[in-house]
Amino acid sequence: MSRARFSGVLVVVTFIVFGRGLTYPMLTGWDDGQYVLDAANRITPALDNVVYWFTHYHAHNYHPLTMLSYMVDYSVWGTNPVGYHLQNLLWHVAAGTALYSIFLRLKIEPFVAACLVLVFAVHPQRVESVVWISERKDVMCAALYLFAFERYLTACTTDKARFILPFAIWVAALLSKAMAITLPAILVLYELHRGTRPADIARRCWPYCLLALIMVPVTIVGQGTAIATEFAWERPCGVVLHNLIWYIESFVVPANLAPLYPRIEITTALVTKIIIVACVLIAGYAYLAHRSRAVLTFVIVPLALAYLCIGAPVLGAFSLGAIDYADRYSYLMSAVLLLAIGTAITAIQRSTANSNKTSQLLTRLQSPRVRKAVTALCLVYVVVLGFTAFIYVPTFRSDYELWVTATTRERANPFAIGALAEYELMNKDYDLVLRLAETLESRRDNSLTRAHIRANALKAQYLRASVALRRGQFIQAEASFRQLLRHIDNASTAPLFRANYVRDKLAECYRELNQFTLAIPLYNKILESEPPADAFLNRGVCYFNTGGLEAAITDFHSALEIDPDHTQAAALLAIAIERLDEVQQDR
């Protein structure tokens, strides 16, 4: 199958599986607001904004090209999510096309390569990267990463000086997401697989290695406080080993998927599983070392090291935020697993019959009947994967559905529990909010640091106080929020909620209790770090009720400057101006 024809098939299949996600709104409660809506002034097309993204981090990442891709969307679509989803989908198609070209370059049969790439394209683990707008960096980086590798393969096979183009494409991938930092290791492994002389490897790969070394501290600085370091060394080791196995398991059988998985608890069952897998791997290594050392040295070991290298940034040696593993992290890792499968199939196809039993078995596997059966099974597997992904896509239809799905697991992530409780608070299901708060506070296992446990307890207190506020128990709510605000004295609580949320709720309590003078300093503190229209509006209401009409008018004007369609601010502004005129006339 030609590349052009396969690209057409890939476009049709991916649009069938993921296409309904094009109409989904932005997930404002899960990063889409941070990447698009809150950054609208910075993704407006302008030279200053282009310079800004190349000189600033965003959301703990240095990915200027990703932000510039949002700038393209914003210039064409504004805040209409269709265009943002569409670009994600096109990058995913581009990644699949690049992977198909790589498989062909590595002498994998076109039909086999097509089946493997379809598995990659429609796999349910791709849903998070394709449908979630904020994961543009995933699909964009992966597409450029794979194209860079494909062009490198072309440069090697044509034996011409064409190594500048793959390097340039890789730089673009690196500026889309730091995950691309692993490509130099993959290139070195490929060259070793080919039997290239060390001097030639150094000559071809040194620019990649040098830039990768420069990007390591850049990435670490960007991650900053997102990296949790309180755990002892035993837990990161357990997490890495768990993830090495989990990404393979979930690739083969993608069951119980979730947009946010619980942190990994190191249990006896997990340790036993790791030991069993390790014993199987050691036995396999010993067998291959005895029967086929060349295959082991030049095929299996490079593939295993490629899997480890590509996964290294996300295997969990350093815990990032509220998670230890995620479906989106499997994007490039699954490409290595598919390459391993393609390599094995190609080895079987190229084998010839001889007198020993192993070769006779291989000959039977190549018979037309067996090939047809295997082909049918592969197509059924692709259809099952595509249907599973199609069913899973609506999980990302709204923030609420996302958090509901994330909390259906037996051990839900505390972040998901807190987020769902916030939505149930808006839905006025106060009994459910209190149950979620109790669940959050009762979580105690070795997947959580002391800071996490403390933050969970504070979040539970915040939810209970919010329920009291909504039920009109203002004195009780005020005491709880005031106590809570005293406890929030460091950044360890940041993963679950920010101090300004508590200040806003406490100020609301004071307004309900007609203690407006106590509310004003809280709004002053909120407005020091962020200028939401509602904070100006509420402070204006406090000034209005304490006789500060001129200050109230100024705040109402400020609210309207941020949100010109804020009808409540416009109405209160008119009332304040009228009242001020009356006061001046009385004087």
Find the CATH number of the domain harbouring 540: 1.25.40.10
Q: Are residues 356 and 497 in the same domain?
A: no
98-102-105-107 Cα dihedral, nearest 10 degrees = -130
CA dist., res. 526 & res. 504, Å (int): 8
Distance between alpha carbon 206 and the CA centroid of its chain, in Å? Answer: 30
| Section 511-515 average pLDDT | 94
User: Which residue type, as a one-letter code, is found at position 261?
Assistant: Y
The pLDDT value recorded for residue 316 is 82
Name 118's Cβ contacts closer than 8 Å, sequence gap at least 6: 9, 10, 13, 382
| Domain presence at residue 159 | yes
The pLDDT value recorded for residue 485 is 87
| Domain presence at residue 186 | yes
| Section 206-231 average pLDDT | 77
Q: SS3 breakdown of the chain: % helix, strand, coil, rounded to 5? A: 75, 0, 20
Q: What angle do CA 449, 455, 461 make, to 5 degrees?
A: 145
Q: Are residues 287 and 313 in the same domain?
A: yes
CA dist., res. 489 & res. 296, Å (int): 55
Number of domains in the chain: 3
In the predicted structure, residue 361 carries a pLDDT above the cut 60: no
Q: Are residues 171 and 22 in the same domain?
A: yes
The pLDDT value recorded for residue 105 is 92
CA distances from 188 to 178, 184, 203, 223, 303 (A): 19, 6, 11, 27, 12
In the predicted structure, residue 495 carries a pLDDT above the cut 50: no
The pLDDT value recorded for residue 481 is 93
Q: Are residues 346 and 464 in the same domain?
A: no
The pLDDT value recorded for residue 148 is 96
CA distances from 352 to 341, 348, 577 (A): 19, 9, 92
Q: Are residues 378 and 421 in the same domain?
A: no
Residues 288-314: tens digit of each pLDDT: 887 777 778 778 888 999 999 999 988
Per the structure, the complete domain to which residue 148 belongs is given by 3-395
210, 167 Cβ separation under 8 angstroms: no
Q: Which residue has the higher pLDDT, 29 or 113?
A: 113
The pLDDT value recorded for residue 230 is 53
| Domain presence at residue 432 | yes
In the predicted structure, residue 285 carries a pLDDT above the cut 70: yes
**High-pLDDT (> 70) share of the chain, %:** 92
Last residue of a domain, one of 334, 368, 395: 395
The pLDDT value recorded for residue 232 is 59
Q: Are residues 275 and 340 in the same domain?
A: yes
| Domain presence at residue 178 | yes
| Domain presence at residue 234 | yes
The pLDDT value recorded for residue 477 is 95
Last residue of a domain, one of 330, 360, 395: 395
| Domain presence at residue 518 | no
Q: Are residues 483 and 541 in the same domain?
A: no
Last residue of a domain, one of 458, 481, 513: 513
The pLDDT value recorded for residue 351 is 61
CA dist., res. 466 & res. 460, Å (int): 10
In the predicted structure, residue 503 carries a pLDDT above the cut 60: yes
Handedness of CA 530, 419, 320, 334 (dihedral sign): negative
The pLDDT value recorded for residue 302 is 87
In the predicted structure, residue 491 carries a pLDDT above the cut 60: no
| Minimum mean pLDDT range among 447-456, 492-501, 549-558 | 492-501
Q: Are residues 386 and 420 in the same domain?
A: no
User: Which residue type, as a one-letter code, is found at position 39?
Assistant: A
Average pLDDT of the residues of the chain: 88
CA dist., res. 508 & res. 404, Å (int): 28
| Domain presence at residue 527 | no
| Section 65-80 average pLDDT | 95
| Domain presence at residue 407 | no
Q: Are residues 460 and 369 in the same domain?
A: no
Q: Are residues 351 and 431 in the same domain?
A: no
Q: Are residues 24 and 173 in the same domain?
A: yes
The pLDDT value recorded for residue 494 is 44
Q: Are residues 237 and 320 in the same domain?
A: yes
